[in-house]
Amino acid sequence: MGLLFWARAFAQGVWERRIQAQTALRVRWLRAIAVVKSLPETAREQIRHWRGNSVEFPIEEQRVLLAEYYERFEQLAELICSAAFAGDGAPFQAQYAALRRWLQRAYPPLKPYLTGHLNCDPSDAEFGLRTVGKPTDAMEALFAAETIEDILRYDQGDLIGRLERARSALYRYADYLREVV
């Protein structure tokens, strides 16, 4: 009884330790994945995180970026309307490309804050799917397409509504920032 008993106890202990080790490794792996997913996405957020500052976008920076963003948005709206009235986007393509690059860089920091002020419409997501292969909101849909010709070609009568939804979201967001101290 002695040797057989000790052999079983030893085997049982080894098996339990193996299971405990596997469980501990799984838990560590899941924690590591959670940490990686929680890391800030942009370099600015990462630097603030390292310094111990909040990763939120400060109100003053939001106001400054929104003011500049609004100017560029109005230029884009005028450009799209001019191209639509002309019926040809080729003369406006160079200016559209420059505005598009700037808006694509400036929109991601504002998007989480601006999205709460956007009125959603399925046509915006459908437009993004047709042009770039992923759903977009009203703001992104205005500069998602590579060319201004694509904006005009894929529009199904929703362009004016999309411009108005994006503009009203900018107004509401600006009003909100004015109220915040």
Digit-coded pLDDT (tens) for 12-37: 777 788 888 888 888 788 777 776 66
pTM: 0.67
Cβ atoms of 151 and 92 closer than 8 Å: no
Residue of 133, 129, 132, 125 lying closest to 165 (CA atoms)? 125
pLDDT of residue 35: 65
Digit-coded pLDDT (tens) for 135-169: 999 999 999 999 999 998 888 888 999 999 999 99
pLDDT of residue 76: 95
